Amino acid sequence: MTQHIMKSRAMSVIGAGVAALTVVGTLAGCGGSGAEVTKDDSGATVIKFGINVANPAKQEPATNDIVEAFNKANKGKYKVEFVAADTESHAKNMKLAASDGTLPQVFWVEGSQVTEFNEAGVLMDLTDFLAFRCLVWVSGAGVVVLVG
């Protein structure tokens, strides 16, 4: 039973990660006002991903694997780079970045901060985008992502 719950949770995390990264192309360059598009040496658009762990490879291996797969599949076009810090530092860093317009294009935030970030106008409403372009279905058998 515990193994089944862990597998279901892992699949949910993977599904959420896949869903987030399927919209990453839309988010590239859509940061706060005045945000500049950053390119790496290959010309790929760099997408900053703020995460609440200091070492994503060790602490969030599923998310790290999704990012690595995304980067491989989009080599030369997009590159996701982690902005990683422990949970407490991450929360402070995101709050500071929200105040000065330097938030990563994709970031994890505590539920208790969502209202504050929304009221500050730094969150993108993805409701319409997800309703018309992306369906993520997570089951015990796997994850299915349909992007239209």
pLDDT value of residue 126: 77
Task: Report the alpha-carbon distance of residue 78 to residue 63 in Å, rounded.
Answer: 17
> What pLDDT, on a 0 to 100 scale, did the predictor assign at position 114?
87
Report the pLDDT averaged over residues 112-129. Answer: 86
d(CA 96, CA 109): 13
Contact 112, 105 (CB under 8 A): no
Say what the pLDDT of residue 41 is.
Answer: 92
Write out the two tokens for 136: 């993520």
* Band of residue 128 on the pLDDT scale cut at 50, 70, 90: confident
45 three-state secondary structure: strand
Q: How far apart are CA 87 and CA 119, in angstroms?
A: 22
Per-residue pLDDT band at 140 (split at 50, 70, 90): very low
What's the average model confidence in pLDDT over 111-132?
83
Residue 27, pLDDT score: 47
52-66, 82-96, 128-142: range with lowest mean pLDDT:
128-142
pLDDT in tens, 57-69: 999 999 999 999 9
Please name the residue that has the structure tokens 């070492």. Answer: 55
Pairing label, strands 38-39, 142-147:
unpaired
Contacts of 7 (CB under 8 A, 6+ apart): 140
Distance (Å, rounded) from C-alpha 75 to C-alpha 40?
11
Q: Cα angle at 104 between 40 and 34, to 5 degrees? A: 85
What stretches of 23-110 show up as alpha helix (H) in DSSP? Answer: 24-27, 56-59, 61-73, 87-100
- Report pTM: 0.67
116 has a pLDDT exceeding 80: yes
